[in-house]
Structure 1
Amino acid sequence: MSTKKVWFVTGASKGLGLALVKKLLANGYRVAATSRSVESLIHEAGPVSEEFLPLAMDVTSDNNVKEAVAKTVDHFGSIDVVVNNAGFGLVGTLEELSDEEVRDNFNVNVFGPLNVIRHVAPHMRHQKSGHIFNISSIGGYSGGFPGFGIYCSTKFAMAGFSEALAEEMKGFNVHATVVYPGYFRTNFLSKGSIKTSASPIDDYKSARESEKAHLNQIDGNQSNDPEKAAEALITVSEQADPAVHLFLGADASEIAHQKIKLIEEALSSNEQLSKSTLIVADQKQ
């Protein structure tokens, strides 16, 4: 297994990102890690070295991302694997979340990764190799979580552009994988990480119950280990023909199967109605 690939990991100062960075360094990979605070990266993973490059980067700033990518190429000579991990959770129904709150979530979770892709793609095209991981969520495959509609929609967006990216970059031997993690024991649901609506509406009982369950019961009791998720990403990065879709966690797999069953039932129940829209040849004028 190659131990010299250069990884570029965003959102690397905590959670899955930090677990991945530490695992990569322990296994001999070279790593550029980004966060809004370079001090937190240095504290957690060490100073600049031949193997590690901590970078302060705001994913919502296209110029800032461009500079970070350029610094990584200057430092290591290439970028082989990208992990678009930076993002945050947002709780609130579609009615109660403000335009500003929604746009903030999309700016970080959707437009941030797109900024990264825009600036790493030329390097990967020219070297005719690479792998881009976009960290979505099982909520990016199944959106039936009341109060998480906007967050889920940002993760659905990641899945959509990842599928297109896989096709667009195929001719350059560059792979794209969208990752759907289930519940991992990180600080993702902790105060200071997840954001909630500034103007909640009491009428939305199911959303309030879902919010309470996630912030009070699920947080700290997640069933999946981020260390094992990091190992899984490394394993997939070394595969010759990696899958475009990667579900991480038994819970993610179960929810995916439930969604697939739901779609199959919906297709079957309205199949004749769906086909009824076809233009019949002898009815053409």
Structure 2
Amino acid sequence: MRGSPLVCQPKNHGKVNVWSRIVQRWLPPRVCALCGAADCLPGLGLCAGCRDELPWLDHACPLCALPLPANGTCGACQRRPPPYRRLTAAFHYEPPIAELIHGLKFHGVISHARLLGELMAERLAETMEARPRLIVPVPLHRQRLHRRGYNQALELARHLARRLDVPLDYRCCRRVVATAPQSELTAQARRRNVRNAFLARRRAGLEHVAVVDDVVTTGHTVAAVARSLRAAGARQLEVWVCARVLPPGTAQGPATVGRPGQL
């Protein structure tokens, strides 16, 4: 079980070493990512105790994943539906999931993508109504990609594509505007920030596309990606994210602790 706080690698502002990234991406971990126990569940990177403490997101709006007391579409999505038909978030954005995502996104802990991707695949296997024809990660602008050295959404998408046997295309949608980080902006500014920031090209497989990102807060980024894909001919769109971040001032619903099969 989880007995100590998650320890991330030292912050790395440059590119993650290529060989280290390959090893972290594909080799199964030997110890639990949260408590360091050696008795990991096969291929997962978590011990059974830590896995059972994860904050799974149970009842939520199917269009924005806002936590709700019971399943149903929230009022905001009824008034203004997003440009995709479904958004699936595996978790609440709270410890220890928040720590794992932070380590992946800002500290170069690529191995967390394998763990989070496996957990997302478990949830999607239960909730997915039809298998998409294509997985598209939310792209980074080339300037930010150069600074970070990798795209955390692509790292998650790689594992989802492998686990769910769905083709992956990280080139069909590009971020053509170097936008400010969404985390630094208000909700209204976030919408303006990503307007026309993405450009998608036509290709086969756009009949049903799953857009992948690490977290969703206001949903403006994934909505902008979805609009660009729709303009390129996509007909059926859904969004897969690891965790739902609540906008400021929103009450936090209770997380469901336990295995997804128990929900």
Relative to the length of structure 1, the TM-score reads 0.29
Relative to the length of structure 2, the TM-score reads 0.31
Q: Which has the larger radius of gyration?
A: 1
